[in-house]
Each structure stands twice: as structure tokens, then as C-alpha cells.
Amino acid sequence: MWHCLWHVRSGGGRIFSNRQQGNAINLRVENVTVEDVFPSLNVFQLDLTSSIGSSATVHDVRFTNVHVRNFSTVRSCNAGNGCNCVPKCARGPLPTGIPNALWAGPDRTHNNISSMTFTNVSIGGVNLYDALTTAGYFNVTWESVHGITVDGKPVSGPAIPIHDY
């Protein structure tokens, strides 16, 4: 049922979401376990891309001991909205579900994501470092997302574009 409704109800249902809805600064998220076996939507949806009249910053946010049982279970992009990919995914398979999103604007002073730390964080049994550096799991505007660290290792993006499947 939720899979069918995802295309209509794409505005919610994510666990960690900020769609230009204010700042998240000096935030700690600790000891979270999410047991949903069949989540329709992605876990992370941080969309801080610029839009008229909105501004948001995510800075110094730390996730510690966060484990989510599964990635999005939506396995095909059938919508015209690009299925959470930048550039938009073509209609067709999404082998790892709807990509998680860390999107920031082009300006480091507005609409930015910086200094995010992940320690002992996994989704679907995949360590977040591997998810961030493997095609398909995340869609990140690496040119404007800065200071991401996973288990003490800095992450600057995958060697291949993550929107290519």
C-alpha cells in the first residue's frame, strides 16, 4: 500500500529530514534503532538547496549508535519527479531504493551542510561510510557538502557518480 502511495505522498515518512525548514546546529542524535522492515522512503532527506525566501543550515550534527534496519524498499522509479536523484533518475530500476539525500546550496554561508559526524551508524547492515562511497545509496551535492566524517574517516564522495546505476 505505501509503495503504491509513495508517488502521491512523497512529502513525508523519512526518519531524518530537513527540507529548508530551519537550522540544525549543535545537534546530537544518539542510540536510535529503527526496526521498519519495509520502509517506503529514504532515511536521510536533508534538502537545503536554495529556494526563494528560505534558508537553512545543518552544522555540527553528530549521529552516534544509529541503526536503521533497511533502505527504502521502492525498487523502481516510475514517477516523473526523478525519484530523489540529482540529476533526475530515469524511469527504471532503483537497485538500492530511493537514494538518501544530502543536498546543500552552492553558497557556504546559506543553505549549507557542514561538520556532520557519524559514529557507528548503519542502514540495512551497511556501514554509513560504505553507503556514502558506494553508488546508489546516497545522492550528495559534494561540491557544497563539507566536513562529513564517518567513524573518524573524512568522506568526500564516491569515485563514481552516485546517480548512475
- The pTM assigned to this predicted structure is 0.81
Please say whether the beta carbons of 74 and 98 come within 8 A: yes
Return the higher-pLDDT residue of 157 and 136: 136
Q: What is the pLDDT of residues 40-51, one digit of tens each?
A: 888 998 888 766
pLDDT above 70 covers what percent of the chain? Answer: 78
Model pLDDT for residues 106-156, shown as the tens digit of each residue:
766 667 888 999 999 999 999 999 999 988 899 888 888 889 999 999 998
CA 36 distance to own-chain centroid:
17
Average pLDDT, the chain: 80
